[in-house]
Structure 1
Amino acid sequence: MAKQPKRAQAFAGDRQVVLGVEEAVKLVKQNATAKFDESVEIAVNLGVDPRHADQQVRGVVNLPSGTGRDVRVAVIAKDAKAAEATAAGADIVGTEDLVERIQGGFMDFDRVIATPDMMALVGRLGKVLGPRGLMPNPRVGTVTPNVGQAVKDAKGGAIEFRTEKTGIIHAGVGKTSFTDEQILANVRALVDALNRAKPTGAKGTYIKKISLSSTMGPGVKVEVASFSAA
Protein backbone atom coordinates (compact mmCIF):
# COMPACT_ATOMS: atom_id res chain seq x y z
CA MET A 1 0.00 0.00 0.00
CA ALA A 2 1.28 3.46 -0.91
CA LYS A 3 2.37 5.56 2.04
CA GLN A 4 0.09 8.51 2.73
CA PRO A 5 1.58 12.01 2.51
CA LYS A 6 2.38 13.60 5.86
CA ARG A 7 -0.35 16.19 5.34
CA ALA A 8 -2.95 13.45 4.85
CA GLN A 9 -1.67 11.54 7.88
CA ALA A 10 -2.03 14.65 10.00
CA PHE A 11 -5.68 15.12 9.00
CA ALA A 12 -7.73 15.81 12.11
CA GLY A 13 -10.94 13.84 11.79
CA ASP A 14 -12.60 10.96 9.96
CA ARG A 15 -12.52 11.61 6.20
CA GLN A 16 -15.57 9.40 5.65
CA VAL A 17 -17.82 11.34 8.02
CA VAL A 18 -20.32 13.77 6.49
CA LEU A 19 -20.50 16.93 8.58
CA GLY A 20 -22.85 19.86 8.86
CA VAL A 21 -21.55 22.92 7.06
CA GLU A 22 -20.53 24.74 10.26
CA GLU A 23 -18.51 21.77 11.53
CA ALA A 24 -16.98 21.26 8.08
CA VAL A 25 -15.72 24.85 7.95
CA LYS A 26 -14.09 24.48 11.36
CA LEU A 27 -12.35 21.25 10.29
CA VAL A 28 -11.10 22.73 7.02
CA LYS A 29 -9.51 25.63 8.91
CA GLN A 30 -8.06 23.24 11.50
CA ASN A 31 -6.35 21.23 8.76
CA ALA A 32 -4.97 24.26 6.90
CA THR A 33 -1.37 24.01 8.09
CA ALA A 34 0.53 25.46 5.13
CA LYS A 35 2.82 28.45 5.69
CA PHE A 36 0.61 30.75 3.64
CA ASP A 37 -2.99 31.92 3.74
CA GLU A 38 -4.69 29.05 1.96
CA SER A 39 -7.83 29.51 -0.13
CA VAL A 40 -11.02 27.75 0.93
CA GLU A 41 -12.49 25.86 -2.00
CA ILE A 42 -15.84 24.19 -2.59
CA ALA A 43 -16.77 21.38 -4.94
CA VAL A 44 -20.46 20.76 -5.63
CA ASN A 45 -21.53 17.65 -7.53
CA LEU A 46 -24.75 18.46 -9.39
CA GLY A 47 -27.23 15.98 -10.83
CA VAL A 48 -27.01 17.46 -14.32
CA ASP A 49 -25.48 16.51 -17.65
CA PRO A 50 -23.81 19.67 -19.06
CA ARG A 51 -23.68 18.08 -22.52
CA HIS A 52 -27.36 19.01 -22.81
CA ALA A 53 -28.08 22.71 -23.30
CA ASP A 54 -31.05 22.61 -20.91
CA GLN A 55 -28.91 21.21 -18.08
CA GLN A 56 -26.02 23.67 -18.06
CA VAL A 57 -25.53 25.66 -14.88
CA ARG A 58 -23.75 28.99 -15.11
CA GLY A 59 -24.03 32.28 -13.29
CA VAL A 60 -22.44 34.82 -11.00
CA VAL A 61 -22.77 35.40 -7.27
CA ASN A 62 -21.59 38.19 -4.99
CA LEU A 63 -19.80 36.67 -2.01
CA PRO A 64 -20.79 38.77 1.03
CA SER A 65 -17.35 38.37 2.65
CA GLY A 66 -15.38 38.86 -0.56
CA THR A 67 -12.83 36.45 -2.00
CA GLY A 68 -9.76 37.56 -0.07
CA ARG A 69 -7.78 38.02 -3.25
CA ASP A 70 -7.03 40.93 -5.54
CA VAL A 71 -8.99 40.42 -8.76
CA ARG A 72 -7.36 41.99 -11.81
CA VAL A 73 -10.05 43.30 -14.16
CA ALA A 74 -9.62 44.09 -17.85
CA VAL A 75 -12.30 46.15 -19.59
CA ILE A 76 -12.88 46.47 -23.31
CA ALA A 77 -14.74 49.76 -23.76
CA LYS A 78 -14.30 53.17 -25.32
CA ASP A 79 -14.89 56.84 -24.62
CA ALA A 80 -17.15 57.55 -21.61
CA LYS A 81 -17.50 53.86 -20.73
CA ALA A 82 -13.73 53.46 -20.69
CA ALA A 83 -13.49 56.43 -18.31
CA GLU A 84 -16.23 54.91 -16.15
CA ALA A 85 -14.34 51.61 -15.92
CA THR A 86 -11.11 53.37 -14.99
CA ALA A 87 -12.86 55.40 -12.28
CA ALA A 88 -14.35 52.17 -10.85
CA GLY A 89 -10.88 50.65 -10.46
CA ALA A 90 -10.33 48.56 -13.60
CA ASP A 91 -6.70 47.47 -13.96
CA ILE A 92 -6.54 47.54 -17.77
CA VAL A 93 -8.86 49.40 -20.14
CA GLY A 94 -8.70 49.50 -23.93
CA THR A 95 -10.29 48.67 -27.27
CA GLU A 96 -8.42 47.36 -30.31
CA ASP A 97 -5.08 47.89 -28.61
CA LEU A 98 -6.09 45.65 -25.69
CA VAL A 99 -7.58 43.00 -27.99
CA GLU A 100 -4.32 42.89 -29.95
CA ARG A 101 -2.30 42.52 -26.73
CA ILE A 102 -4.48 39.60 -25.61
CA GLN A 103 -4.17 37.98 -29.02
CA GLY A 104 -0.42 38.34 -28.63
CA GLY A 105 -0.39 36.44 -25.34
CA PHE A 106 -1.09 39.09 -22.68
CA MET A 107 -3.12 37.43 -19.91
CA ASP A 108 -2.36 39.49 -16.81
CA PHE A 109 -5.99 39.62 -15.60
CA ASP A 110 -8.62 37.47 -13.89
CA ARG A 111 -11.83 38.90 -15.37
CA VAL A 112 -12.73 40.50 -18.71
CA ILE A 113 -15.68 42.88 -18.99
CA ALA A 114 -16.94 44.44 -22.20
CA THR A 115 -19.68 46.80 -23.32
CA PRO A 116 -22.23 45.42 -25.83
CA ASP A 117 -20.97 47.66 -28.64
CA MET A 118 -17.52 46.05 -28.36
CA MET A 119 -18.68 42.46 -28.92
CA ALA A 120 -17.75 42.39 -32.61
CA LEU A 121 -14.22 43.20 -31.50
CA VAL A 122 -14.29 40.84 -28.52
CA GLY A 123 -15.42 38.00 -30.79
CA ARG A 124 -11.84 37.73 -32.06
CA LEU A 125 -10.79 36.53 -28.62
CA GLY A 126 -13.06 33.49 -28.42
CA LYS A 127 -10.29 30.95 -29.03
CA VAL A 128 -8.02 32.66 -26.49
CA LEU A 129 -10.42 33.52 -23.67
CA GLY A 130 -13.03 30.77 -24.14
CA PRO A 131 -10.89 27.81 -22.99
CA ARG A 132 -9.85 29.80 -19.91
CA GLY A 133 -13.43 30.66 -18.97
CA LEU A 134 -12.73 34.38 -19.41
CA MET A 135 -14.86 35.19 -22.45
CA PRO A 136 -17.30 38.04 -21.65
CA ASN A 137 -20.88 36.81 -21.46
CA PRO A 138 -24.12 38.70 -20.77
CA ARG A 139 -25.44 35.75 -18.73
CA VAL A 140 -22.86 36.39 -16.02
CA GLY A 141 -22.83 40.17 -16.26
CA THR A 142 -19.49 40.57 -18.02
CA VAL A 143 -21.11 42.04 -21.14
CA THR A 144 -22.94 45.10 -19.85
CA PRO A 145 -23.36 48.82 -20.42
CA ASN A 146 -22.95 49.28 -16.64
CA VAL A 147 -19.21 48.66 -16.68
CA GLY A 148 -18.55 50.71 -13.56
CA GLN A 149 -20.80 48.54 -11.42
CA ALA A 150 -19.47 45.37 -13.04
CA VAL A 151 -15.91 46.36 -12.17
CA LYS A 152 -16.90 47.16 -8.57
CA ASP A 153 -18.70 43.81 -8.27
CA ALA A 154 -15.69 41.90 -9.61
CA LYS A 155 -13.35 43.72 -7.25
CA GLY A 156 -15.75 43.35 -4.32
CA GLY A 157 -16.27 39.58 -4.40
CA ALA A 158 -18.38 38.58 -7.39
CA ILE A 159 -17.38 35.17 -8.75
CA GLU A 160 -18.55 33.19 -11.75
CA PHE A 161 -19.56 29.54 -11.53
CA ARG A 162 -19.96 27.03 -14.32
CA THR A 163 -20.43 23.28 -14.48
CA GLU A 164 -17.50 21.25 -15.70
CA LYS A 165 -17.97 18.30 -18.06
CA THR A 166 -18.60 15.98 -15.12
CA GLY A 167 -21.34 18.20 -13.65
CA ILE A 168 -19.15 19.58 -10.85
CA ILE A 169 -18.86 23.21 -9.80
CA HIS A 170 -15.52 24.33 -8.33
CA ALA A 171 -15.10 27.74 -6.74
CA GLY A 172 -13.02 29.64 -4.21
CA VAL A 173 -15.07 30.91 -1.28
CA GLY A 174 -12.53 32.80 0.80
CA LYS A 175 -9.32 32.36 2.76
CA THR A 176 -8.50 30.33 5.85
CA SER A 177 -7.70 33.63 7.60
CA PHE A 178 -11.41 34.51 7.34
CA THR A 179 -13.60 33.95 10.37
CA ASP A 180 -15.89 30.92 10.37
CA GLU A 181 -18.85 33.25 9.93
CA GLN A 182 -17.31 34.92 6.85
CA ILE A 183 -16.64 31.59 5.16
CA LEU A 184 -20.09 30.29 6.05
CA ALA A 185 -21.74 33.38 4.56
CA ASN A 186 -19.84 32.89 1.30
CA VAL A 187 -20.55 29.16 1.09
CA ARG A 188 -24.24 29.67 1.73
CA ALA A 189 -24.42 32.47 -0.84
CA LEU A 190 -22.92 30.20 -3.50
CA VAL A 191 -25.19 27.26 -2.69
CA ASP A 192 -28.23 29.58 -2.75
CA ALA A 193 -27.13 30.87 -6.16
CA LEU A 194 -26.77 27.30 -7.46
CA ASN A 195 -30.27 26.48 -6.28
CA ARG A 196 -31.64 29.56 -8.03
CA ALA A 197 -29.78 28.55 -11.20
CA LYS A 198 -31.28 25.04 -11.27
CA PRO A 199 -32.00 24.29 -14.94
CA THR A 200 -35.41 23.14 -16.09
CA GLY A 201 -33.87 20.01 -17.59
CA ALA A 202 -32.45 18.77 -14.26
CA LYS A 203 -34.13 15.59 -13.03
CA GLY A 204 -33.86 13.78 -9.71
CA THR A 205 -31.52 15.02 -6.98
CA TYR A 206 -30.02 18.35 -8.01
CA ILE A 207 -27.28 18.92 -5.41
CA LYS A 208 -25.83 15.46 -4.82
CA LYS A 209 -22.61 16.07 -2.92
CA ILE A 210 -20.66 18.98 -1.44
CA SER A 211 -17.12 19.06 -0.13
CA LEU A 212 -14.88 21.80 1.28
CA SER A 213 -11.10 21.96 1.40
CA SER A 214 -8.21 24.36 1.74
CA THR A 215 -5.57 24.74 -0.97
CA MET A 216 -3.24 22.14 0.53
CA GLY A 217 -5.68 20.33 2.80
CA PRO A 218 -7.84 17.23 2.25
CA GLY A 219 -11.51 17.45 1.38
CA VAL A 220 -14.23 17.43 4.01
CA LYS A 221 -17.65 16.04 3.10
CA VAL A 222 -20.57 18.38 3.82
CA GLU A 223 -24.14 17.34 4.54
CA VAL A 224 -26.34 18.90 1.85
CA ALA A 225 -29.32 19.03 4.20
CA SER A 226 -27.39 21.28 6.59
CA PHE A 227 -27.90 24.19 4.18
CA SER A 228 -31.67 24.01 4.27
CA ALA A 229 -31.46 23.85 8.06
CA ALA A 230 -29.22 26.93 8.24
Structure 2
Amino acid sequence: MNINDALEFVKKNCKAKFDSTIEVHINCNLNKDKQEAVRFSLTLPHGTGKSKKIAVIASKKIVGADLELSDEDVGKLEKAQLKPKNDFDILVVEPRYMSKLAKVAKILGPAGVMPNPKNGTVTEDVQKAVDLFKKGRTEIRTEPNGTVIHTIIGKRSFTTLSLAENYQELMSALALNKPQKAEAGWIKDVFISATMSPSAKVS
Protein backbone atom coordinates (compact mmCIF):
# COMPACT_ATOMS: atom_id res chain seq x y z
CA MET A 1 0.00 0.00 0.00
CA ASN A 2 1.08 3.59 -0.44
CA ILE A 3 1.37 5.60 2.76
CA ASN A 4 -2.08 7.20 2.48
CA ASP A 5 -3.82 3.86 1.96
CA ALA A 6 -1.82 2.28 4.79
CA LEU A 7 -2.80 5.07 7.17
CA GLU A 8 -6.48 4.87 6.20
CA PHE A 9 -6.42 1.08 6.69
CA VAL A 10 -4.86 1.33 10.13
CA LYS A 11 -7.19 4.11 11.30
CA LYS A 12 -10.27 2.27 10.02
CA ASN A 13 -9.32 -1.06 11.62
CA CYS A 14 -8.14 0.26 14.97
CA LYS A 15 -10.27 -1.21 17.78
CA ALA A 16 -9.05 1.10 20.54
CA LYS A 17 -11.64 3.29 22.27
CA PHE A 18 -9.04 6.00 22.88
CA ASP A 19 -6.91 8.21 20.64
CA SER A 20 -4.30 5.60 19.81
CA THR A 21 -0.75 6.26 18.69
CA ILE A 22 0.28 5.66 15.08
CA GLU A 23 3.51 3.68 15.03
CA VAL A 24 6.13 3.01 12.37
CA HIS A 25 8.18 -0.20 12.42
CA ILE A 26 11.19 -0.25 10.11
CA ASN A 27 13.18 -3.42 9.44
CA CYS A 28 16.76 -2.58 8.51
CA ASN A 29 19.52 -4.47 6.77
CA LEU A 30 22.31 -3.37 9.10
CA ASN A 31 25.31 -5.13 10.56
CA LYS A 32 25.50 -4.46 14.28
CA ASP A 33 29.14 -5.60 14.31
CA LYS A 34 30.03 -2.73 11.97
CA GLN A 35 28.48 -0.23 14.36
CA GLU A 36 25.87 0.74 11.79
CA ALA A 37 23.52 2.11 14.42
CA VAL A 38 21.03 4.86 13.60
CA ARG A 39 20.56 7.62 16.15
CA PHE A 40 19.35 11.16 15.56
CA SER A 41 16.61 13.56 16.63
CA LEU A 42 13.78 14.77 14.46
CA THR A 43 11.05 17.39 14.84
CA LEU A 44 8.00 16.28 12.90
CA PRO A 45 6.03 19.04 11.13
CA HIS A 46 2.82 18.15 13.00
CA GLY A 47 4.39 16.85 16.21
CA THR A 48 3.69 13.44 17.73
CA GLY A 49 0.63 14.31 19.80
CA LYS A 50 2.40 12.82 22.79
CA SER A 51 3.61 15.02 25.63
CA LYS A 52 6.81 14.10 27.45
CA LYS A 53 8.10 15.26 30.81
CA ILE A 54 11.41 17.05 30.37
CA ALA A 55 14.01 17.36 33.12
CA VAL A 56 16.99 19.69 32.78
CA ILE A 57 20.29 20.38 34.50
CA ALA A 58 21.34 23.87 33.49
CA SER A 59 23.08 26.95 34.87
CA LYS A 60 20.00 29.14 34.38
CA LYS A 61 16.23 28.86 34.54
CA ILE A 62 14.69 27.03 31.59
CA VAL A 63 11.16 27.99 30.55
CA GLY A 64 8.97 24.99 29.79
CA ALA A 65 11.05 22.42 31.67
CA ASP A 66 8.89 20.09 33.77
CA LEU A 67 11.66 19.38 36.26
CA GLU A 68 14.70 21.57 36.93
CA LEU A 69 17.47 19.62 38.64
CA SER A 70 20.82 20.61 40.06
CA ASP A 71 23.95 18.50 39.93
CA GLU A 72 23.24 17.70 43.60
CA ASP A 73 20.03 15.94 42.55
CA VAL A 74 22.07 13.21 40.84
CA GLY A 75 22.22 11.50 44.24
CA LYS A 76 18.42 11.21 44.18
CA LEU A 77 18.72 9.11 41.03
CA GLU A 78 21.19 6.82 42.78
CA LYS A 79 18.78 6.39 45.69
CA ALA A 80 15.77 5.92 43.36
CA GLN A 81 14.15 9.04 44.83
CA LEU A 82 13.93 10.21 41.21
CA LYS A 83 13.09 7.65 38.57
CA PRO A 84 13.55 8.01 34.79
CA LYS A 85 10.40 7.24 32.77
CA ASN A 86 8.39 7.93 35.92
CA ASP A 87 9.46 11.43 36.95
CA PHE A 88 10.79 12.42 33.52
CA ASP A 89 11.02 11.07 29.96
CA ILE A 90 13.85 13.25 28.63
CA LEU A 91 16.90 14.69 30.38
CA VAL A 92 18.64 17.69 28.79
CA VAL A 93 21.91 18.93 30.27
CA GLU A 94 24.72 21.37 29.64
CA PRO A 95 28.02 19.62 28.77
CA ARG A 96 29.63 20.72 32.05
CA TYR A 97 27.29 18.45 34.02
CA MET A 98 27.94 15.24 32.07
CA SER A 99 30.76 14.12 34.37
CA LYS A 100 28.29 14.21 37.28
CA LEU A 101 25.99 11.80 35.43
CA ALA A 102 28.66 9.16 34.85
CA LYS A 103 27.85 7.44 38.14
CA VAL A 104 24.18 7.06 37.21
CA ALA A 105 24.75 6.01 33.59
CA LYS A 106 23.75 2.46 34.54
CA ILE A 107 20.36 3.85 35.61
CA LEU A 108 19.77 6.37 32.83
CA GLY A 109 21.16 4.23 29.99
CA PRO A 110 18.79 1.23 30.24
CA ALA A 111 15.87 3.66 30.60
CA GLY A 112 16.90 5.35 27.35
CA VAL A 113 17.34 8.80 28.91
CA MET A 114 21.13 9.13 29.17
CA PRO A 115 21.91 12.53 27.59
CA ASN A 116 23.77 12.34 24.30
CA PRO A 117 24.95 15.06 21.89
CA LYS A 118 23.63 13.00 18.94
CA ASN A 119 20.03 13.43 20.01
CA GLY A 120 20.35 17.02 21.18
CA THR A 121 20.14 16.33 24.90
CA VAL A 122 23.69 17.53 25.65
CA THR A 123 23.86 21.16 24.58
CA GLU A 124 24.93 24.63 25.66
CA ASP A 125 21.51 25.89 24.56
CA VAL A 126 19.23 23.90 26.84
CA GLN A 127 16.35 26.34 26.30
CA LYS A 128 16.34 25.74 22.54
CA ALA A 129 16.45 21.97 23.07
CA VAL A 130 13.50 22.07 25.47
CA ASP A 131 11.51 24.22 23.03
CA LEU A 132 12.14 21.67 20.25
CA PHE A 133 11.19 18.68 22.40
CA LYS A 134 7.99 20.47 23.43
CA LYS A 135 7.17 20.90 19.74
CA GLY A 136 7.38 17.14 19.26
CA ARG A 137 11.06 16.48 18.71
CA THR A 138 11.62 12.76 18.99
CA GLU A 139 14.60 10.44 18.97
CA ILE A 140 15.00 7.99 16.12
CA ARG A 141 17.26 5.04 16.90
CA THR A 142 17.79 1.39 16.13
CA GLU A 143 16.80 -1.08 18.82
CA PRO A 144 19.60 -2.84 20.74
CA ASN A 145 19.57 -5.69 18.20
CA GLY A 146 20.57 -3.12 15.60
CA THR A 147 18.08 -4.13 12.92
CA VAL A 148 14.76 -2.50 13.84
CA ILE A 149 13.59 1.08 14.32
CA HIS A 150 10.35 1.74 16.20
CA THR A 151 8.94 5.27 16.34
CA ILE A 152 5.67 7.19 16.26
CA ILE A 153 4.29 9.74 13.80
CA GLY A 154 1.20 11.00 15.59
CA LYS A 155 -2.25 10.06 16.85
CA ARG A 156 -5.25 8.48 15.15
CA SER A 157 -7.06 11.83 15.53
CA PHE A 158 -4.53 13.46 13.18
CA THR A 159 -5.66 13.89 9.58
CA THR A 160 -4.26 11.39 7.12
CA LEU A 161 -2.46 14.27 5.40
CA SER A 162 -0.73 15.33 8.63
CA LEU A 163 0.32 11.76 9.39
CA ALA A 164 1.57 11.29 5.82
CA GLU A 165 3.63 14.48 6.02
CA ASN A 166 5.13 13.34 9.32
CA TYR A 167 5.94 9.99 7.72
CA GLN A 168 7.61 11.61 4.71
CA GLU A 169 9.69 13.81 7.03
CA LEU A 170 10.80 10.68 8.90
CA MET A 171 11.79 8.83 5.73
CA SER A 172 13.66 11.86 4.36
CA ALA A 173 15.57 12.15 7.63
CA LEU A 174 16.43 8.45 7.55
CA ALA A 175 17.87 8.86 4.05
CA LEU A 176 20.04 11.73 5.29
CA ASN A 177 21.17 9.72 8.30
CA LYS A 178 22.04 6.51 6.45
CA PRO A 179 24.89 4.74 8.29
CA GLN A 180 28.14 5.26 6.41
CA LYS A 181 28.83 1.55 5.85
CA ALA A 182 25.24 0.53 5.18
CA GLU A 183 24.29 -0.83 1.77
CA ALA A 184 22.00 1.10 -0.57
CA GLY A 185 18.90 -0.94 0.29
CA TRP A 186 19.43 -0.77 4.03
CA ILE A 187 15.74 -0.17 4.75
CA LYS A 188 14.13 -3.55 4.00
CA ASP A 189 10.47 -2.86 4.74
CA VAL A 190 8.21 -0.50 6.64
CA PHE A 191 4.99 -1.24 8.52
CA ILE A 192 2.39 1.16 9.94
CA SER A 193 0.20 0.22 12.88
CA ALA A 194 -1.82 1.72 15.71
CA THR A 195 -2.51 0.60 19.24
CA MET A 196 -4.93 -2.34 18.88
CA SER A 197 -4.87 -2.47 15.08
CA PRO A 198 -3.48 -4.76 12.39
CA SER A 199 -0.38 -3.49 10.62
CA ALA A 200 -0.08 -2.39 7.00
CA LYS A 201 3.04 -2.71 4.89
CA VAL A 202 4.04 0.49 3.10
CA SER A 203 5.34 0.03 -0.43
If the length of structure 2 is used for normalisation, what is the TM-score?
0.93
Partner SS for 2:140: strand
Unaligned runs of 5+ in 1: 1-18, 224-230
> Deviations for 1:166-217, whole angstroms, at most 9, x for unmatched residues?
4110001110011111111111111111111101110241111000000111
* Residue in 2 that maps onto 1:68: 49
Taking the aligned partners of 2:32 and 2:163, their CA distance within structure 1 comes to 28
Taking the aligned partners of 2:106 and 2:161, their CA distance within structure 1 comes to 40
* Residue in 1 that maps onto 2:18: 36
Taking the aligned partners of 1:75 and 1:44, their CA distance within structure 2 comes to 31
1:95 paired residue among 42, 49, 70:
70
Amino acid in the other structure paired with 1:39? T
Question: How much is the aligned-residue C-alpha RMSD, in angstroms?
Answer: 1.2
Contact 2:28 2:147 in 1 (8 A): yes
* Residue in 1 that maps onto 2:176: 196
Partner SS for 2:56: strand
User: Identity over aligned residues, as a percent?
Assistant: 37
Taking the aligned partners of 1:215 and 1:49, their CA distance within structure 2 comes to 30
Contact 1:211 1:220 in 2 (8 A): yes
Taking the aligned partners of 1:179 and 1:104, their CA distance within structure 2 comes to 44
The list of structure 1 runs, each at least 4 consecutive aligned residues, that deviate by more than 4 angstroms after superposition, is none
1:143 paired residue among 100, 109, 122:
122
Higher helix residue share: 1
Partner SS for 1:51: helix
From the CA coordinates, give the structure whose radius of gyration is larger: 1
Using the TM superposition, give the Cα deviation of residue 104 of structure 1 relative to its aligned residue in structure 2, in angstroms: 2.4
Asked if 1:45 is matched to 2:38, the reply is: no
Taking the aligned partners of 2:32 and 2:133, their CA distance within structure 1 comes to 25
1:122 paired residue among 101, 120, 123:
101
* Residue in 1 that maps onto 2:40: 59
Contact 1:50 1:57 in 2 (8 A): no
* Residue in 1 that maps onto 2:92: 113
Amino acid in the other structure paired with 1:182? S
Taking the aligned partners of 2:156 and 2:29, their CA distance within structure 1 comes to 29
Unaligned runs of 5+ in 2: none
Taking the aligned partners of 2:66 and 2:181, their CA distance within structure 1 comes to 39
Taking the aligned partners of 2:201 and 2:57, their CA distance within structure 1 comes to 41
> Deviations for 1:4-50, whole angstroms, at most 9, x for unmatched residues?
xxxxxxxxxxxxxxx01111011111112211110000001111123
1:155 paired residue among 127, 134, 140:
134
Taking the aligned partners of 2:75 and 2:198, their CA distance within structure 1 comes to 41
